[in-house]
Amino acid sequence: MYRSIKAASASAKPQAAVLLLPAGTKAADVAHCPDAPALEELLKQPDCELSPEWTRTLYHSDAPAKRTIVVGLGETGKIDATTLRLAAAKALRELDAGKLTSASVHAVGLPESLDGPTIGRAIADGMSLANFTFDAYHGKTKRPDKSKREKPRDLAVGLDSAHRTGFKQGLKVSEGVTTARTLACTPPNVANPKYIANYCKNLAKKSKLKCTVIDARRAKELHMGGLLAVGAGGSTPPCMVILEHAPSGKTKDKPLLLVGKGVTFDTGGYSLKADGGKGMKYDKCGAMNVIGAMQAISNLKVKRRVVGIIGLAENMIDTDAYRVDDIITFCNGVTCEITNTDAEGRLVLADCLAYGTKTYKPAAVLDFATLTGGVVVALGKKIAGVWSTDDALLNKLKTAGQTVGEPIWQLPLDDDYRKMMQAKHADLHNSAPVREAHGTQGAAFLSYFVGTDAPKQIPTTPWVHVDIAGTANTEDCTLMEKGPTGFGVRLATELAATL
Ligand code: BES
Ligand code: MN
Ligand code: ZN
């Protein structure tokens, strides 16, 4: 994998040319091939399908580029940004396998619906998403001796001028995606609430964000009973981190508020998970994706004010851990009887949402959480479930999702579902006695914490809850390797830039 990907200067002579070609491309359509006769020969061959599954590498020594990597895109009418991202990902893997450090990428004959910036952006996304691996903890058996280790390589990518700006923008966003994925991979015995809060402080210095940490002591003063209950059994105390992006002149604007669930490990607590919680280090992905989005938003110098709030806690078993039957009080005064200590994410988010909406009076709120197994059953691993109080905001988010390839699907939220979350001995319980509509139960619970009118009615603050339990990590290895996806970083960044 490359240490970094950069846009090359226009004059540089690359080691490889990457050609992204629709089915039926003729040699005459391709102006950039360093070895025109070889390409003509290839394109004439009957098995040259140029389908999205098809790719070939031509090797030539005397041409300016040493090789040409041809990646098929399929029928022109069916090509979209998703096609381009996948093709760029394949090209990146081929360049990496060849240990090349420079390439030019040309996409030819694309449908008119794809403009230059979109094409550049998709190429950057595909290459950078494929260029991720997490080997920080490879030890003696996987890592060669120091003397035999290869020097880290950087990749310089030359592009047609129409695609260059979008490409550079994409690379800026990708830094945030990589941060989110790296943190998500970092194991729970390292990435505890304290580690992540420290990471945020350092990132803020680097990225010109403002960082405030509400530690457990301050959280007690602020009556954040949800955050404190979930984190009570943890190896380090829970905390809340606030990252602020305030472009000059916009410091008083109503911000976009991003909220993330950061459960650094979810054992289920006393309602213990039967499988031991394998993979539950990813239960912090909502928060990690908010961190990544804030980095990307700052990188892009987005013109609007954005505040990111993450709740960090470890859901463990301990003498101090919270119990089923406990009744807790959140910072907005709402009380909750604990019916299941494994429905912990909503308790952490409740304090984040209540505190965030009261303190920052946001124009819009977006929260990301690996909240329920129910959303995975309903929608699978490619589409995130969303619940919303505002159609205009939701439509903008849907468009953003289509643009960046992070699709969302709306599920219902109404008073009947909110009633399901009301308890006898407290305002709410965190899990209803019935098993139905788990994803919606989560959303209905959260709806009591968005804005000051929230406990009494469905919030008037424009809000979308995004349940990423299915999309936060992947097994399918096409665009990205197995592991965390950063799903939400590009979505939130795109929304912030277009809202
Ligand atoms: N972190 C889990 C949700 C989850 C499940 C994420 C699978 C990723 C994959 C969450 O805290 C949880 O345990 N939810 C319970 C809620 C239930 C107890 C009301 C669930 O979905 O089963
Ligand atoms: Mn849980
Ligand atoms: Zn959880």
User: Do 62 and 151 belong together in one domain?
Assistant: yes
Number of the ligand closest to the Cα of 469: 1
Task: Evaluate whether residue 169 is within a structural domain.
Answer: no
User: Do 216 and 308 belong together in one domain?
Assistant: yes
Q: What is the pLDDT of residues 106-161, one digit of tens each?
A: 999 999 999 999 999 999 999 999 999 999 999 888 888 888 888 999 999 999 99
Residue 490 near ligand 1, beta carbon < 6 Å: no
Residue 498 CA to residue 397 CA, distance in Å, equals: 9
- Note the pLDDT of residue 250: 86
Task: Evaluate whether residue 168 is within a structural domain.
Answer: no
Task: Evaluate whether residue 42 is within a structural domain.
Answer: yes
Task: Evaluate whether residue 166 is within a structural domain.
Answer: no
Q: How far is the CA of 262 from the centre of ligand 3 (A)?
A: 9
User: Do 356 and 482 belong together in one domain?
Assistant: yes
User: Do 202 and 305 belong together in one domain?
Assistant: yes
- Note the pLDDT of residue 417: 97
User: Do 390 and 456 belong together in one domain?
Assistant: yes
pTM (two decimals): 0.98
Residue-wise DSSP of 70-135:
EEEEE-GGG--HHHHHHHHHHHHHHHHHTT--EEEEEE-S--TTS-HHHHHHHHHHHHHHHS----
Task: Evaluate whether residue 454 is within a structural domain.
Answer: yes
Task: Evaluate whether residue 326 is within a structural domain.
Answer: yes
User: Do 301 and 404 belong together in one domain?
Assistant: yes
Distances (CA, A) of 177 to 131, 156, 180, 213: 11, 20, 5, 22
User: Do 198 and 288 belong together in one domain?
Assistant: yes
Strands 327-329 and 364-369: unpaired
Q: Which atom of ligand 1 is nearest to the CA of 370?
A: 6
User: Do 218 and 355 belong together in one domain?
Assistant: yes
Residue 283 near ligand 1, beta carbon < 6 Å: yes
- Note the pLDDT of residue 65: 78
User: Do 314 and 260 belong together in one domain?
Assistant: yes
- Note the pLDDT of residue 35: 82
CATH of residue 101? 3.40.220.10
Task: Evaluate whether residue 311 is within a structural domain.
Answer: yes
pLDDT < 50 regions, the chain: none
Q: Note down the domain range covering 68.
A: 4-159
User: Do 214 and 146 belong together in one domain?
Assistant: no
Q: How far is the CA of 343 from the centre of ligand 2 (A)?
A: 5
Residue 249 burial (CB < 10 Å; 0-12/13-18/19+)? exposed
Residues noted as catalytic:
273, 346
Number of domains in the chain: 2
User: Do 112 and 202 belong together in one domain?
Assistant: no
- Note the pLDDT of residue 34: 79
Cα 449 versus chain centre, distance: 24
Domain end among 107, 126, 159 = 159
User: Do 262 and 384 belong together in one domain?
Assistant: yes
Domain end among 127, 159, 191 = 159
Residue-wise DSSP of 439-472:
HHHHHHHHTTSSSTTTTTSS-SS-EEEEE-TTTS
Q: Which atom of ligand 1 is nearest to the CA of 374?
A: 21
Residue 469 near ligand 1, beta carbon < 6 Å: yes
- Note the pLDDT of residue 249: 85
- Note the pLDDT of residue 142: 87
* Atom 14 of ligand 1, residue of closest alpha carbon: 372
Task: Evaluate whether residue 167 is within a structural domain.
Answer: no
Residue 367 near ligand 1, beta carbon < 6 Å: no
